[in-house]
Structure 1
Amino acid sequence: MRGHDWINTCLPDELIEEIFQRVDSKSDRDACSLVCKRWLGLERLSRTTLRIGASSCPDLFVNLLASRFPNVKTVHIDERLAISLPVHLGKRRGRDKTKLTPRRLHYSDEKSEEGDFESVSLTDNGLTALADEFVKLEKLSLIWCSDISSFGLTSFAQKCASLRSLDLQGCYIGDQGLAAVGKCCQQLQDLNLRFCEGLSDRGLIDLAIGCGESLKSLGVAACAKITDISLEAVGSNCKFLETLSLDSEYIHNKGVMAVAQGCNLLKVLKIQCSNVTDDTLTAVATSCLSLELLALYSFQQFTDKGLCAVGKGCKKLKSLTLSDCYFLSDKGLEAIATGCTELTHLEVNGCHNIGTIGLESVGRSCLHLTELALLYCQRISNCALSEVGKGCKNLQALHLVDCSSVGDDAISNIGRGCQNLKKLHIRRCYEVGNKGIIAVGEHCHSLTDLSLRFCDRVGDEALIAIGQGCSLQYLNVSGCIQIGDAGIVAIARGCPRLTQLDVSVLQNLGDMALVELGEGCPLLKDIVLSHCHQITDVGLSHLVKKCTMLKSCQAVYCPRITTAGVATVVSTCPNMKKLLVEKCKVSPRTRRRAGSIISYLCVEL
C-alpha cells in the first residue's frame, strides 16, 4: 500500500540494529539516524566506536556521549584534533548563545561561572567517567591527553578489567598508573607507550608481570627511563608477544635480545635504536622463526652480517623495510631475496650502498612481491627494475623517489611485466618520460593511482595513453611542465571515477582542461591548481558548477583567478571544507560567508 511504513512495521529492532552495524560509512549511519526517532535510538544502540577531538568541556562531553551510546566498546580521544560544538552542553538551541571554541591551549582565557579556569583537556575525572559510563569498553586511545595522571589511570584500570587495548601516546602518566593497569587489566593485549616521558623501568616491569599471559603488542618510543632492564622483564613474562616497536637510544642489544629469545611467537619487529648491532638480528633470526615483518630505521652499527642471518632464519618474512641503513649492501639484500622467498613488501630508503645486483636478486627470487618502494636509491639502474618486471608478476604498487638512474626502459618493462599494477608513484626521476608511461597505459588496465611529480620529461602523450587504458581515481602530475590541456582532457574523458587531482605548476594548462574535467569527472573531491598561470575565473567556474562534490581546492599563485572566481567557488560548492587562496583575493563578503573554510598562504613576510 502506498505510503505504508513496511520497514518499521515488519522488521524487529534486532534486525535493524544488525543492518546498522554493517553500514561502514559514518555519514550513511548519521543519515539513517535522521529517518525517525526509532531509527535514531537503534542507531545509537548499534554504535560501537566513538572518535572524539578536543573540546571546551571534555569531561562533560564524555558524560553526554555515554548517555547516548551505551554499547560503545572502542573510544578514541585525540586532543590534537580541534572541534567545536554548536550548542552548550546540556542546554537547548536558542536559549544559550555560548559557543564552545576548539582547544588551542591548555587553559582557557575566560573564567567559568565558578571563577575557575575552564578545562580544555580531558582530566582524571573525565577518565573515571569513561570507566563508569562505558561499561563495555574494550579499547581506549588517549592521544596527547596531557592532563591525565597516574591517579586517573589507576581509577580507570580498577573499573575496566575487560580492557584489551590501551594507547597512551603523549600522556604524562607515571609508573603507578601503568602498574595499576598491569594489576587490574589482565586481558590487555595491545599497549602503546610512545612519548610517555614520565615512565621508567619500574612501571613497564609491573605491567609485564601483570599482563604477561595476555600482552601481544607493545610500542615504546622516546621514553628515556625505559631501558634494557624492563625489556628483559618483557622477554621473561610476555611469552605470547607478537608485535614489538622500539624507538630509543637508551636500549641496547641486551634488551632486544632478551625479547627475541623469550618471545618466540614474535611476528612484527620495528626497531629504531642506534645502539643495536648485528648481534640482535642474529638472535632474532635464531629465535623468532615466525617473524613476518621487519623494519629497521637509522641503523648505523650493523652490516650485511645481521641481514644475512635474517635471510637464513626467518623464512616466513613477508615485509622488510630498510631506512637509512648506511652499511648495508647488495650482499645483505641478496641474502634476504634468496632466503625469504615469501616476501611481498620491500622498502629501501636511503641505503646508498644497495644497488642493481641486490634488486635483481629480488626480481628473480621474490615472485610473490606485491609492493616495492625505492627511495633515494641512486645506484639502482634500469636493469634491476627490468628484472622485477620479468619476475614479479603480482606487483601492485611501485614507489620511486629520486632514483636518478631509472628511466623509460625500466618503467616500460614494469608496465609490460606487471599488468596487475594498481599504484605507480614516481617523484623526481628525471630520466622517466613518455615512453615508459605509455607502456603502463597500454598494459596496466587496473591502474587507479598515478603520481608523476616533477618528472619533467612526461608530456601529453603519456596522459593520453593513460586516459585510454586506465580508469584513474587519483592523479598527481605536479611539476610535469610539458603537460598541457590535451593530456588533462584525455584524463577527463577516460577517467570518470577521478576523485583527486593535482595539476599544480603546469604553466601550459588552461581553461579548456577545467571545462572537460567538469564534464567528465563529476566525482572529483580534491583539486590542486596552484601556480597554473593560464587558468582564469571562467574555467574555474565551469569546474565547480559541475563538480558539486568538491571538498578541497588549492589555487594560490594563479594570477588570472580573481576575487570573483573565489566567490564563485564559495557560492557554488556546498561541500567545500578547505579553500586555499591568497588573502587579497577574498572579499569581505566572501570572508563573512565562508571564513571558516578559507585558508591563506602567508606571503607578507
Structure 2
Amino acid sequence: MRGRDMINAHLPDELIVEVFRRLDSKASRDSCSLVCKRWLSLERLSRTTLHIGASGTADLFVSLLSRRFTNVRSVHFDERLSISLPTKIGRRRRQKRCALSSKADDKTDISDPSEVVETWCLSDAGLALLGEGFPRLEKLSLIWCSNISSVGLRSLTEKCRSLRSLDLQGCYIGDQGVASVGEFCKHLKDLSLRFCEGLTDAGLVELVFGCGKSLKSIAIATCAKIGDISMEAVGSQCISLQTLSLESESIQDRGMLAVARGCKILKVLKLQCINVTDDVLKAVGASCSSLEQLALNGFQKFTDVGLLSIGHGCKKLSNLTLTDCAYITDNGLEAIAINCKELTHLEINGCHNIGTTGLESVGKYCMNLIELALLYCQRIGNNALLEIGRNCKLLQALHLVDCSSIGDDAIHSIARGCRNLKKLHIRRCYEIGDMAIVAVGEYCKSLTDLSLRFCDRVGDEALIAVGRGCSLTHLNVSGCHQIGDDGIIAIARGCPRLTHLDVSVLQNLGDIAMAELGEGCPLLKDIVLSHCRQVTDAGLSHLVRSCPLLESCHMVYCPRITSHGVATIVSSCPNMKKILVEKAKVSERTQRRAGSIISYLCVDL
C-alpha cells in the first residue's frame, strides 16, 4: 500500500543482515543497499572483506572504509590495481595534482619530490590507520606495496593480534617488521613472503620462534638471504605445518632435511630449489606419510631414486607435478604409479626422459586419475593415451602441448573411454586432426571447454561434430586455418551457452559466421577476432546486436573492420570492459565515449 512500509516495520536488523550475506554478488548487495539509509547501514555491517587497489590514495581509503565497514575481517591491497575515488574526493585530489603540476611548470622547488609519489601508494601511516580501524582483522594481503616498511608493519601487528593470514608478496619489509609478526600474532596460520628481498634468516627465525607452533602454510620465493638457518627453525618449530612452497637458490639439503624430519604432517610440498638433491626426497618419503601434493620444478639433481622413495612412503599422494626434471625417467614415474593408487592429478612438463612406458604405467595403475597435463613431452606416444583411455574412466581434463608423437588414435581412445571429459586443451599437436575431434564430439557429451590452438589438421568437420554432441561454454580454435564459416556456424547453432570464443587467425572466417554467433550465442562475454581478415563491420554489427553481455573484444589486424565497427561495438555493448584494437581505428568521439576501456596495440613504431 502506498505510503506504508511493509518491510522495515516488521523485519529485525539481524534478518536483513543475513539476507545481505546470502546475496551471491557485490552488484546485488549494492543494489539492495540503495533501498533506504537503514539498508545501506546494514549492508555495510554485513561486509567482511575489502579489496583495495593501492595505486591511488590508499591511505585515504583506509580511513574512509574503517569508519563505514566496522565488521571487516579480511583486507586485500594490490599495488598493481587502481581505485576510483568518490566524486567529491576525486575532484579535490585532481585539484591537488593540478596545483602540484603548475608548481612544477613554474619551476618552483618542491622540498621533497618523493612526497608526490608517496600520496599514491599505501604507506606506513596507512598501515597504522588500518590497525586502528580494523583491530579484529584476521586476513591481510599486501601485494607489491613497495612503500611500506617494518615500522608500518609493526604498528599494525601491535593492534591486529588476531591475524590468521598474512601475504607480503613483493613488499620490501625488513627483519624487524617480520619479527613483530611473531611477537604479536600468536595465532598466525598462513604466511607468504614471496619476493620479499629485504628479508634475511634473522627475521624469519624470530617470526618462527614467535608463532611457529600455529603456522600451517608458508610460501617463500626469491628471498636470496633466506637459507638453511631459517629452514632449520621451521623444522624445529612448525610442527603443524601442512603446506610449504619454496623457490630458492640458497636453500640446500641441510635446511630441507630439517623440514622433512620435523614437519611430519606435511600435505603439500612445492619446491624449486636447484641445490636440493635426492636425499631430501628420501627424507620426505620416510617421514611425511601424509603428503598429498608434490611439485618439483627445475631440478637438475633429482633422479628416479628420489621418486622411488616418495612412491614407497607417500601412499596418499594425489597430485604430482614434474617440471624440467631432466634426470627423472620412466622408472621413477612407474614407481609413483604402482604405489600411489590415489593419484588424481598429474602434470609432466619438459621432462624429456619420460616416455610412453612411464605414462602407460599411470594408465594401468592410477584408475582415479581426473586431470592429466603433458607439456613438451616429445617421447610420449599414442600407446600411453590408449592405456589412459582403457582404464581412467574418471578423467575430466586433458592438456596436451607440443606433443608431436600423439595423434588421432590416442585422442579417439580417450574419447571412447573417458566419457566424463569436460575439458580438452590441445596446442601445437600437429598429428591430431578431424578424426580425433569427431570422436570427442560423438562420445564426450559432458565437454564444456575445448581448445585446439594451432592444430592445423583440424577443420570444419571436427567442429560440426562437436556442435552436434557437446554444449560448450569455452572454445579456442586460434590458428586452425582449415576452420571456416561452416564449423563456427555449427558451434553457434549447437552451443547456446557459449561465453568465451577465440577464433583469431582464421583466414576463412567471415560475416556469415558472425551473424550466426549473434543469433545462437546470446551469453557470449569474450571474443577474440584478431587477424580475421574476412570479418567486416557488417559482421561485427550482427554479432553485437544480439550479445548484450559482451565484455571483451580483441580485433587487432582485422583490415576490414574500421572505426565505424569499433564505434558500433562501443554503442551496442553496455557491459563492455575491454576492447583491443589499433589506435588508428578509434575516432575522437569513440575515444571520448569509451577511452577507459580501449587498449591499443603498439604498431606505430
Q: What TM bracket, shorter-length normalisation?
A: over 0.9
Distance of 2:252 and 2:183 partners within structure 1:
28
For 1:84 and 1:41, locate their aligned partners in 2 and report how far apart those are by CA, in whole Å.
21
SS at match of 2:274: coil
Give aligned pairs, total.
595
CA contact 1:87–1:97 (8 Å) conserved in 2: no
Q: Report what 1:543 is aligned to.
A: 543
- Structure 2: runs of 5+ lacking an equivalent: 98-103
Judged with a 3 Å threshold, the aligned counterparts in structure 2 of structure 1 residues 7 and 357 are, in CA distance, closer, same or farther, namely farther
Secondary structure in structure 2 of the residue aligned to 1:10? coil
1:98 to 94, 97, 100: 94
For the residue of structure 2 that corresponds to 1:425, the secondary structure is strand
Q: Which residue of 1 aligns with 2:513?
A: 513
Question: Is the Cα–Cα contact under 8 Å of residues 289 and 315 in structure 2 kept in the other structure?
Answer: yes
Q: Is residue 165–residue 190 contact of structure 1 (8 Å, CA) maintained in 2? A: yes
* 1:98 shift after superposition: 2.8
TM-score, length-normalised on structure 1? 0.95
Shift of 1:24: 2.9
**What displacement does 1:468 show?**
1.1
Match of residue 29 from structure 2: 29
1:64 aligns with 2:76: no
Identify if the C-alpha distance between structure 1 residues 261 and 527 changes in structure 2 by more than 3 Å, giving closer, same or farther. same
Q: Give the distance between the partners of 1:33 and 1:210, measured in 2 at CA.
A: 43
CA drift of 1:80 comes to: 1.1
C-alpha distance in 1 between matches for 2:74 and 2:109? 33
- Measured against aligned partners, the alpha-carbon deviations of 1:466-498 in whole angstroms (never above 9, x if no partner) come to 111111111000001111111111111111111
Output the amino acid matched with 1:425: H
Deviates more, 1:303-312 or 1:18-27: 18-27
The alignment status of 1:119 with 2:119, answered yes or no, reads: yes
Query: Partner amino acid for 1:258?
Result: A
Asked if the contact 2:52/2:58 (under 8 Å) is kept, the reply is no
In structure 1, distance between residues paired with 2:474 and 2:497: 9
Q: Does 1:472 align with 2:472?
A: yes
The separation in 1 between residues aligned to 2:132 and 2:77, in whole angstroms, is: 16
Query: How far apart are 1:34 and its partner, in Å?
Result: 2.3
In structure 2, the partner of 1:291 is 291
Q: Work out the CA distance in 2 between the residues paired with 1:310 and 1:212.
A: 26
Contact map agreement 2:505 2:532 (CA 8 A) in 1: yes
Q: Which residue of 2 aligns with 1:448?
A: 448
Whether the aligned pair in 1 keeps the contact of 2:122 and 2:145 (CA below 8 Å) is yes
Distance 1:285 1:588, change over 3 A: same
Describe the superposition over 1:354-408 as per-residue Cα deviations: whole angstroms up to 9, x where unpaired.
0111111101111111110000000111110111111111111110000001111
Q: Which amino acid aligns with 2:94?
A: T
What one-letter code is carried by the residue in structure 2 that aligns with 1:519?
A: E
- Contact 2:333 2:359 (C-alpha < 8 Å) held by counterparts: yes
1:245-275 deviation line (CA, Å, top 9, x unaligned) = 1100000011011011001010000000000
Read off the aligned partner of 1:241 and give its amino acid letter. Answer: L
Code of the residue aligned with 1:417 in structure 2: it is G
2 CA distance for matches of 1:80 and 1:245?
A: 23
Q: Write out aligned runs for 1:110-509 (5 A).
A: 116-117=115-116, 119-509=119-509
Counterpart amino acid of 1:30?
Answer: D
Please say if residues 507 and 533 of structure 1, whose CA atoms lie closer than 8 Å, have aligned partners that are also in contact.
Answer: yes
Query: Which amino acid letter does the alignment assign opposite residue 303 of structure 1?
Result: T
Amino acid at match of 1:198: G
One-letter code of the match for 2:478?
Answer: S
User: Secondary structure at the residue paired with 2:592?
Assistant: helix
Residue 286 and residue 588 in structure 1: after superposition, are their counterparts in 2 closer, same or farther (change >3 A)?
same
Aligned to 1:81: 81
- 2:568 alignment counterpart: 568
Q: Which moved more, 1:3-12 or 1:354-363?
A: 3-12
Shift of the 57–111 alpha-carbon distance from structure 1 to 2, 3 Å rule, reads farther
Cα separation, 1, equivalents of 2:56 and 2:179: 31
Query: SS where residue 136 of structure 1 aligns?
Result: coil
Aligned equivalents of 1:357, 1:318: Cα separation in 2? 20
Q: Using a 3 Å threshold, how does the CA distance of structure 1 residues 211 and 545 change in structure 2: closer, same or farther?
A: same
Cα 1:377–1:97 change in 2 (3 A) is closer
**CA–CA separation in structure 2 for the residues paired with 1:418 and 1:3:** 62
How far 1:343 moved relative to its partner? Answer: 0.5
* Cα root mean square deviation, aligned: 1.9
2: CA distance, partners of 1:206 / 1:442:
60
In 1, distance between residues paired with 2:353 and 2:96? 55
Question: Is the Cα contact below 8 Å between 2:54 and 2:145 reproduced in 1?
Answer: no
User: Percent identity among equivalent residues?
Assistant: 70
Q: In the alignment, residue 531 of structure 1 is paired with which amino acid?
A: H
Alignment partners' CA distance in 1, 2:254 and 2:366: 33
> Are residue 45 (structure 1) and residue 45 (structure 2) matched?
yes
Deviation, 1:597, is: 1.2
Alpha-carbon contact 1:430-1:457 (below 8 Å) kept: yes
**C-alpha distance in structure 1 between counterparts of 2:357 and 2:85, whole Å:** 58
C-alpha contact 2:341 2:368 (8 A) present in aligned 1:
yes
How many angstroms apart in 2 are the aligned matches of 1:435 and 1:599?
39
Aligned to 1:104: none
Shift of 1:21: 1.4
Distance 1:6 1:379, change over 3 A: farther
Aligned to 1:602: 602
**SS of corresponding position for 1:351:** coil
Shift in Å, 1:96: 4.8
Gaps (5+ residues) in structure 1? 102-107
Q: Distance in 2 between matches of 1:356 and 1:213?
A: 45
Report the AA paired with residue 172 of structure 2: Y
SS in 2 for 1:509: coil
1:35, distance to aligned residue in structure 2 (A): 2.8
- C-alpha distance in structure 2 between counterparts of 1:97 and 1:225, whole Å: 40
Aligned equivalents of 2:169, 2:339: Cα separation in 1? 36
Q: Is the 8 A contact 2:56 2:82 kept in 1?
A: no
Q: Distance in 2 between matches of 1:149 and 1:337?
A: 48
The structural deviation recorded for 1:16 is: 1.8
Amino acid at match of 2:320: L
Q: 1:138 to 1:111 in 2, by over 3 A?
A: farther
